[in-house]
Amino acid sequence: MAELVLMRNFDRSNSHTISSYRSAGGYAAWEKAKTLEPAAITDEVKKSNLRGLGGAGFPTGMKWSFIPKTHTGPVYLVVNADEGEPGTFKDRYLLERDPHALIEGMLITARAIRSALGFVYIRGEYVEPWRRFSAAVKEAYEARLLGDGFDVVVHRGAGAYICGEETGLLSSLEGKKGWPKIKPPFPAIKGAFGQPTIVNNVETLCCVPPIIERGAAWFAGLGTKTQGGTRMYSVSGRVKKPGVYETSVSITLRQLIELAGGVSGTGRLKAVVPGGGSAAILTADEIDVTMDVDGCKNAGTMIGSAGVIVMDESVSIPEALLVLARFYAHESCGQCTPCRESTGWIEKMVHRIVDGHGRKDDLDTILDVAKRGGGTTI
């Protein structure tokens, strides 16, 4: 198992408190960052090959560099803690067990992008993570880590899956309906309240302090050629030891399943969802794929939020598909006709198949509808 970077403090007593975090060396990276120029921090993150760990996998340092150099108004930092992808629960662990790692990551990032205000948008259902993180923010203010050039606002979502998409999140943050927006302009150019905004995932920002403290070369060396570091994988379904596992992004899906104790139930693997409910399913003979952005992409799926759902031979794929189809039909924001209409029809057709009333052309129709939706929505 790889060196723990993100989960290194999880086993410490009262790991969510500032005293525990500082006794483990917490905020040392922030002290170091204060001696660096903003551009130097961004360059270090670029060299680390850190990529977004919430879904798209975009290079983090590159995203930061998109803030217009000539902009003289406010710049905002927004943390996407609206973890709603089916099969994903890693950010919850970070918010509950090591919230100060996120605060330190925000402080360093804010210095890099010259931001004086950060927002943390937490999933509405995450009550305990919200409590823990809010308490950590209060501790950081009392310790004068916050309030002197950088402030943090904690915002609770209202349960809409679509607000996990960055522009939908920003719409909700502004008090509007949580509808995604057409890009460009990208948030780094015109984001929250019309100002340049960097939106990063919880896990992504928690990687920043170790990078600054131990160096880009060290972090890059933990991963693959195109993606540095470790990441946290949420493993659920038919495995003997479901949970969150941190390991190098160079691990294969087969190795990750073995790390989680192997397949439970029948003991025979049928299929795996490798990156949350939105990712294409892989069959049992396709699991020797590297669990990083490029590895999954080359296999015809995506790593996404790294929510791994394992299915053994006893699982009915149509029934599993119905669960996901029902979720996406319910969570479609309704803004774009192809998504609004297709998700509902796909759910109805899959439901018909599960009930034993499927038609010969149903599969072709489902595939055709799904393909036509690609690239036609915001």
pLDDT digits (tens, 9 = 90+) for 278-320: 999 999 999 999 999 999 999 999 999 999 999 999 999 999 9
Q: Is residue 97 a part of any domain in this protein?
A: yes
* CATH number of the structural domain spanning residue 297: 3.10.20.600
* CATH number of the structural domain spanning residue 40: 3.40.50.11540
Give the H/E segment covering residue 38. helix 38-47
Q: Are residues 210 and 245 in the same domain?
A: no
Q: What distance, in Å, lies between the first and last C-alpha atoms of the chain? A: 40
Q: Are residues 353 and 299 in the same domain?
A: no
Q: Are residues 165 and 302 in the same domain?
A: no
CB 293 within 8 A of CB 227: yes
CB 10 within 8 A of CB 99: no
Q: Tell me which residue range forms the domain holding 291.
A: 230-312
CB 2 within 8 A of CB 246: yes
Residue 124 pLDDT > 80, yes or no?
yes
Q: What is the CB neighbour count within 10 angstroms for residue 348?
A: 11
Q: Are residues 308 and 344 in the same domain?
A: no
The pLDDT assigned to 31 comes to 98
Average pLDDT for 96-104: 99
Q: Are residues 211 and 93 in the same domain?
A: yes
Count structural domains, the chain. Answer: 3
Closest Cα partner for 355 from 314, 322, 312, 313? 322
Average pLDDT for 80-97: 98
Q: Are residues 145 and 52 in the same domain?
A: yes
The pLDDT assigned to 370 comes to 87
Q: Are residues 166 and 281 in the same domain?
A: no
Domain stops at, among 221, 252, 268: 221
Residues 6+ apart with CB under 8 A from 105: 205, 206, 207, 208, 209
pLDDT tens-digit series, residues 180-213: 999 999 999 999 999 999 999 999 999 999 999 9
CB 211 within 8 A of CB 44: yes
Domain stops at, among 221, 255, 290: 221
Residue 275 pLDDT > 80, yes or no?
yes
pLDDT band, residue 376 (cuts 50/70/90): confident
Task: Give the phi and the psi of residue 86 in degrees, each rounded to 5.
Answer: -55, 130
